[in-house]
Amino acid sequence: MHQIEFSPIAHVQNSRSTPEDDNWSTISSVIVLAENISTEALDGIEAFSHLDIIYYFHLVKAEKAVARSRHPRNNPDWPKVGTYAQRNKSRPNRLGLTTVQLLKREGRKLTVAQLDAIDGTPILDIKPVMKEFLPKGEVVQPIWSTELMKGYW
């Protein structure tokens, strides 16, 4: 395989400076475009209610980012499952993906709700959410994941 290199297109500004697993609904974030990205790249984005944000877990050390099996949040009450059956930050490529609500655009800044990324997080891509890309049919997930998410938002 060949190496892939990315440069951030934006970064996050908000009040959370440390990675935490819960209570993200209280955080409002601003995504600020990098200086080398034209403001025109956001033209028309305010017509969408939601955006998919792809970001980099920049505080996760490379040696902590592995593909393996473990109990989610190290809770032995939940089954041991693989990295790709979880959404934790200690992933080999350290990528996060969250669907956010777009609250407003001001020039090169997007104010969003429901972004679970800390202050300074590098943004790798922004995509509008379109109904046609949403899942078709019922979304199924195990009970442990519903329990894990109870206090997340």
- The helix/strand/coil state of 62 is helix
User: How confident is the model at residue 20, as a pLDDT?
Assistant: 77
Distance (Å, rounded) from C-alpha 32 to C-alpha 130? 22
Residue of 114, 85, 136 lying closest to 27 (CA atoms): 114
Domain residues for 43?
10-148
Domain count within the chain:
1
Q: What is the dihedral of CA 58, 92, 127, 37, to 10 degrees?
A: 40
pTM of the model: 0.93
pLDDT one-digit tens code per residue, 106-153 = 999 999 999 999 999 999 999 999 999 999 999 999 999 999 899 888
Domain membership flag for residue 2:
no
Residue 105 has pLDDT above 90, yes or no: yes
Q: What's the rounded mean pLDDT across residues 76-81? A: 95
User: How confident is the model at residue 26, as a pLDDT?
Assistant: 86
| CATH number for 70 | 2.40.30.70
pLDDT one-digit tens code per residue, 41-64 = 999 999 999 999 999 999 999 888
Residue 95 has pLDDT above 90, yes or no: yes
Q: In this structure, what DSSP letter does residue 86 have?
A: S
Domain membership flag for residue 60:
yes
